[in-house]
Structure 1
Amino acid sequence: MIGIFGGTFDPVHYGHLRSALEVKEIFGLDEVRLILSAKPPHRAAPIASIGMRLEMLQLAVKKQPGFIVDTREIARAGASYMVLTLESLRQEFPNQPLLLFIGSDAFNKLENWHQWQRLFEFAHVVVLTRPGHRVGQLEPFFIERQTTHQTELKQELAGKLYFQAITQLDISATVIRNIFADRRNPAFLLPDSVIAYIKQHKLYQAHNVH
């Protein structure tokens, strides 16, 4: 099974990395693909350039086995729609279950995503929640696809909805950027290699709110 994490990674931090590692272990994934969103359609443009975000992500996972930085959204023209990314991954891995991991906030806005229903054609959707979180009333579309059995994610290539509680570190990229702008110490929020890169390139020197 292949796990898929999308994000702007502006910058990548331990909240991203811990979640990715935890689901890799929980689901016994062969690999986790970190998809760098080149042109996110549902949020403001990232502060750091595509190239810099890519280099930070590569530094962050350099020594982590099974973590792959996937650049297909950089190579593809236009907005970074996840449905197109999953379609491309499905063509590359026709016989592997694909698991798209998203947070509960993203799931609550899923119907705003481009061709969101087609996500299930290419992958399972796994919603990451905090321990103790209770799933509310779901729309019929989701009820039909929900499973509570992890084995079904291995037996089928795509199409299931699954909720998984994990340890979620309350770390925000916006807060990190503002820490750098304030010249404060960002230690223990993101890898030292990424901190060094940000300082070297003088990134995030002004405050921002997104």
Structure 2
Amino acid sequence: MKIGLLGGTFDPIHLGHIKPALEVLHQLNLDKIWLMPNHIPPHKQSTTVNSQHRLAMTQAVCELYDEFALCDIEINRDTPSYSVATLALLKQQYPQHQFYFIMGTDSFIQLPTWYRWQSLFDLCHIVVCQRPGWQLTAEHPMASVLADNQLVSTSALTGKIYPIEVQPQDISSTQIRQLLSNLTVEERQDSNNAQLNALLPGVIQQYICQHSLYQAN
């Protein structure tokens, strides 16, 4: 099977994660997208809510969309979520699958700062989705990496880079947390709240309300 992998803190998971992932699945004809919440992300200081809540919200999205499945390999790990270690373990556990690691242009530009980043090309394909405000210039060192790996045969099991044009989603978890902290309980519970509906699936809004997440202190 051709499996897309989308990792993140998902704090909370939102439509800016979901919609591009669905576009990638359809454009590359993938069989499934595995959503992979991080436990200890190496590039972030901390998360706002704990792993159990982030895992539960991700599971709720997987139940909402047949295209998604939950991958809990990172969130159950007590060490930082280095992508190369995760991919190596997934390849060991699922040798029958081809993995397509999904990231935004912002992450791809910063890839040389990742632990053993070059080994990723031996373990998976890389899918690069455009992100608002980020552009890879011809002078950037990763431009040559992109050009070289785009030439890899489509029949190769790993190592190809797929730049994907997706509908821009200028949504961030930081923006959503700030919005939620400024809303009253009644505004959070309003299923017709247009602001929230443009950012979060209803099941995530309900979960956040049920557990009183992201409220101002």
In the superposition, the TM-score normalised over structure 1's length comes to 0.88
- The verdict on how the C-alpha distance between 1:88 and 1:62 changes in structure 2, with shifts beyond 3 A counting, is same
Gaps of 5+ in 1: none
1:205 aligns with 2:215: yes
3-state secondary structure, aligned to 1:102: strand
Which amino acid in structure 1 is aligned with residue 78 of structure 2? A
Mapped contact 1:95–1:157 kept (Cα < 8 A): no
Shift of 1:96: 2.7
**Equivalent position of 1:196 in the other structure:** 206
**Equivalent position of 2:149 in the other structure:** 145
Distance in 2, matches of 1:12 and 1:188, equals 13
Which amino acid in structure 1 is aligned with residue 48 of structure 2? I
Mapped contact 2:105–2:135 kept (Cα < 8 A): no
**Equivalent position of 1:87 in the other structure:** 88
Shift of 1:163: 1.0
Distance in 1, matches of 2:69 and 2:87, equals 15
Shift of 1:159: 0.9
Mapped contact 1:24–1:32 kept (Cα < 8 A): yes
Shift of 1:189: 0.9
**Equivalent position of 2:157 in the other structure:** 157
How many residue pairs are counted as aligned between the two chains? 202
Mapped contact 2:22–2:67 kept (Cα < 8 A): no
Q: Percent identity?
A: 37
Distance in 2, matches of 1:117 and 1:33, equals 22
Distance in 2, matches of 1:2 and 1:121, equals 16
Distance in 2, matches of 1:127 and 1:135, equals 11
Mapped contact 1:130–1:167 kept (Cα < 8 A): no
**Equivalent position of 2:7 in the other structure:** 6
**Equivalent position of 1:180 in the other structure:** 180
Distance in 1, matches of 2:50 and 2:166, equals 30
Distance in 2, matches of 1:72 and 1:130, equals 26
Which amino acid in structure 2 is aligned with residue 87 of structure 1? A
Which amino acid in structure 2 is aligned with residue 182 of structure 1? N
3-state secondary structure, aligned to 1:101: strand
Gaps of 5+ in 2: 188-192
**Equivalent position of 1:25 in the other structure:** 26
Structural RMSD (CA): 2.0
Matches within 5 A, 1:46-125: 46-125=47-126
Deviations 1:67-106 (A, max 9, x none): 1110001222200111111111111222432111100001
3-state secondary structure, aligned to 1:62: helix
Mapped contact 1:97–1:156 kept (Cα < 8 A): no
3-state secondary structure, aligned to 1:86: helix
Which amino acid in structure 2 is aligned with residue 76 of structure 1? R
Distance in 2, matches of 1:167 and 1:115, equals 31
